[in-house]
Amino acid sequence: MSILVNEDTRLVVQGLTGKEGTFHTLRNRSYGTQVVAGVTPGKAGQDVEGIPVFDTVADSVREAGANTSMIFVPPRFAAEAILEAADAGVALVVCITEGIPVTDMAQVHSYIRGTGTTLVGPNCPGVISPGKANIGIIPPEVCLPGRVGFVSRSGTLVYQIVHELTQRGIGQSTCVGMGGDPVHGIGFIDCLRAFEADPETDLVILTGEIGGDDEERAAEFVRDHVRKPVVAYIAGFEAPPGKRMGHAGAIVTGSKGTAAAKAEALEAAGVRVARNPSQVAELVQDALA
């Protein structure tokens, strides 16, 4: 089993005919993901290496049975693309696009809560359930099917930590790169809830970073609702206060949002917190022993 994506995922790619969209879509398909359609307005009737192109997401749902969308459109069109997918009844939208204005995402966030659509991203690497489906830009070569769930604000840390898990023979059920923008879709609590309910996930890794209070709220959820072991890492122990580091959401104000404060909250909830990325796999191996 897995969360979000599996063998039944039927993918439509908004922006398939663009360079990045084509490249990553074909990689996803070669991994085994069912890529059933692409959407580029005005290019209906064309195809990309056998993948049919439609003018709208609704057409791809009706004619190709798409149930998941991946978005590779420019930032100024991305919010509208998310809303179009939600209106078409797509169950999951994975928005890879970065640089979407916060005001646009605030409107999307408000709207999408009234739909049955789950959003991952924006500015994220996507989701992979190893051996089943890959939606996004996570390199499947570093992944291994298994029973460890992983959710991260940082895409780069997904790649590093998953690789180190795989090197130790520790496989993953699903890896979720939720993105680091201040306003985003699925978060830590959503993923923790899903992994806790997944009978084929034995342990959960949470990778956060400085700024905001997502990790502190996740710690409260773990304390009250999660019985499976959780291992975490918080990027930014050496980050200077008041300076944005990396993602738009990664800024510390005063004493709030620091890596130390987040680690303290997680440890108080029973989570083992690594002090560097390479230590995560070691803590996971110990917890599973």
DSSP code of 140? G
| Coil, strand or helix at 207 | strand
- Strands (E) across 64-190 are located at 68-71, 92-95, 118-120, 126-129, 133-136, 145-152, 172-177
pLDDT score at 257: 77
Catalytic status, residue 24: no
pLDDT score at 258: 86
Tell me which architecture the domain covering 138-288 has in CATH: 3-Layer(aba) Sandwich (3.40)
pLDDT score at 68: 98
pLDDT score at 236: 75
Q: Which residues have C-beta within 8 Å of that of residue 15, sequence separation ≥ 6?
A: 21, 38, 39, 40, 71, 72, 73, 81
Q: Which phi and psi (to 5°) does residue 245 adopt?
A: -120, 115
pLDDT score at 123: 96
pLDDT score at 212: 84
Domain 10-120, what fold? Rossmann fold (3.40.50)
Q: Which of 24, 163, 184, 247 is catalytic?
A: 247
Enumerate the domain spans of the chain.
Answer: 10-120, 138-288
The three-state (H, E, C) secondary structure of 233-269, written as one string: EEECCCCCCCCCCCCCCCCCECCECCHHHHHHHHHHC
Q: Which residues have C-beta within 8 Å of that of residue 279, sequence separation ≥ 6?
A: 233
pLDDT score at 256: 60
- pLDDT digit string (tens) for the chain, length 289 residues: 689 999 999 999 999 999 999 999 999 999 999 999 999 999 999 999 999 999 999 999 999 999 999 999 999 999 999 999 999 999 999 999 999 999 999 999 999 998 999 999 999 999 999 999 999 999 999 999 999 999 999 989 999 999 999 999 999 999 999 998 999 999 999 999 999 999 999 999 999 998 888 999 999 999 999 999 999 999 976 656 655 555 545 454 445 678 889 999 999 999 999 999 999 999 999 999 8
Chain center to CA of 244: 22
The answer to whether the CB of 140 falls within 8 A of the CB of 199 is no
Closest CA to 211 of 232, 190, 182: 182
